[in-house]
Amino acid sequence: MLRSLFIALSQNKRLRAFSERSVLGRRMSGRFVAGMTVEEALSACEQVNREGIAVSLDSLGESVTVEAEARASADIYHRLLDAIAERKLNANVSVKLSQVGMDIDPLLAEQIVGEMVAHAVEADSFVRIDMEGTPYTEATIAMTERLYGRFPERVGTVLQAYLYRTAADAERLLVEGIRIRLCKGAYKEGPDHAYPSKADVDANYVELMKRLVTSGVFCGIATHDEVIVDAMRRFVQEQGVDKAAFEFQMLYGVRRDLQRRLAAEGFGVRVYIPFGTEWYPYFMRRLAERPANVLFLAKNFFKN
């Protein structure tokens, strides 16, 4: 019930406008969002890197309907890629297609992301094309394939374990050598597209992650679920999987203790650091993914 509520709230334009402008809203989002500016995000990246943990930087924004806004979003990513190279950060970037014009013209979005990936080659970095709801799934995968053909090893995408189609999509991408970030999924999908029960999603996630880490293609296992993390630990040990075959990926501000523990155990860990003024949909989806975050925020809101 809470998951459905927060996903519905993530799409409420009036509440979004109020929250993103208010001091109260920004204070609440601060646990999961690294700030409003590029410099704040880079500072957070440097701090995480000092702990031996890699970073994926994400300038928040989605559902852009004006070309100038799509190009302005892209400009932020070019600034990030320049900073990654100049500051020698252990970082890459993650971008949503709807943020760079997919809803205006798919060719525009592909041009913009292609320029971004070309820049990532120069910066010795990598672009992750993030996944959105099912209307974008096939287009996102297909664009990733085309760009990978032009820029091998420099672009990858995200698959969501709650979708029925994901096992087939994973095989499709692995055959091509394309890196996958596996997550559970944070959008509202009906039973015609997605497993309706958490138990089924978790079971599919575990099956998929085992396939990915033994595929020979480097992948990201994106989860904060300690049961699943422990299952991966056991699988790695029992099957003799090289820890360098994958990395755990987690969100900024979530399970910092687990992030540090895994890094200390020799696992690769990458933290996804979002920033920007358009933080509201992302914030609400984090609450939808893990309603316990609501209690955490309530307990800590009045603490300095």
**231/196 Cα distance (integer angstroms):** 22
75 is catalytic: no
Among 103, 130, 169, 202, the active-site one is 130
Query: CA 290: distance to chain centroid?
Result: 15
Token pair 């360098």: residue: 244
CB within 8 Å of 253: residues ≥ 6 apart: 31, 32, 33
Query: Of 89, 104, 106, 96, nearest to 54 (Cα)?
Result: 89
Closest-CA residue to 58 (of 7, 116, 13):
116
Q: Which helix (H) or strand (E) holds 269?
A: strand 268-275
Pairing of β 246-251 and β 219-222: parallel
- 130 flagged as catalytic: yes
Amino acid at residue number 75: D
Residue 56: DSSP 8-state: E
Q: Which amino acid is at 267?
A: F
Name the active-site residue from 16, 181, 270, 285: 181
Angstrom distance (rounded) from CA 235 to CA 184:
19
Active centre residues (catalytic): 130, 181
